[in-house]
Amino acid sequence: MPALSRAIAILLFLAVSLCHAESPQLPRPAGKVVLTVSGQISNKNRDNDAVFDMDMLAKLPQHTIATRTPWLPGVSRFTGPYLQDVLNLVGAKGHMLRAVALNDYKTDIPLDDASRYQVVLARLLNGKPMPVRDKGPLFIVYPYDSQAVLRSEVYYNRSAWQLKSLQVE
């Protein structure tokens, strides 16, 4: 019994240590960087930034939103990780996100939108990767059909496509 008690104590110590540890090590991208997160973050993998390739984003839990948008006909299916999961992974601490697209379009998004509305950082449109000419490679998508308030210019303007970076402020 003493050996079992000691083993249990060690396991409990490790579990508590892991729960209180700083954020897990963020791996380095092996492929082309498609997203850079900077600003008030605690988990970085390149200088003062957290950078992601498409494979890193694909390894996160994936979620699909089926919704209408003002930019595409009918109902489209957008798949990718929740934006909140990406923000949690980098240890985002702030109140606002500045999203920047490849064409330098910028929009500010309250940080709590990510969890409040289960915003998806879409990497697939109708099951296929999105090329740059078709709003890719990444697109911030709200579940517009889930609530009337999301079908407004406020949320449409926060939906940056061709996303390249997020600044946590």
SS3 for 77-131 is EEEECEHHHHHHHHCCCCCEEEEEECCCCEEEEECCHHHHCCCEEECEECCEECC
């990780």: which residue's tokens?
A: 81
Phi-psi region of 65 (alpha: psi -120 to 50; beta: other; left: phi over 0): beta
Ranking 15-29, 33-47, 87-101, 102-116 by mean pLDDT, the lowest is 15-29
- pLDDT one-digit tens code per residue, 122-139: 999 999 999 999 999 999
160 token code pair: 């940056």
pLDDT score at 40: 98
pLDDT score at 19: 39
157 token code pair: 């303007």
Q: What is the C-alpha to C-alpha distance for residues 57 and 38, in angstroms, rounded to an integer?
A: 16
Half-sphere exposure in the Cβ direction for 97 (13 Å, CA): 27
In degrees, to the nearest 5, what angle opens at C-alpha 31 toward C-alphas 90 and 134? 90
**How many CB atoms sit inside 10 A of residue 47's CB?**
7
- What are phi and psi for residue 156, nearest 5 degrees? -60, -40
CA distances 152 to 36, 52, 101, Å, are: 28, 30, 20
Q: What is the C-alpha to C-alpha distance for residues 42 and 40, in angstroms, rounded to an integer?
A: 7
pLDDT score at 12: 39
Question: What is the domain partition of the chain in residue ranges?
Answer: 31-166
- pLDDT one-digit tens code per residue, 19-58: 334 446 899 999 999 999 999 999 999 999 999 999 999 9
């609530």: which residue's tokens?
A: 147
- Kindly state which CATH superfamily the domain 31-166 is placed in: Oxidoreductase, molybdopterin-binding domain (3.90.420.10)
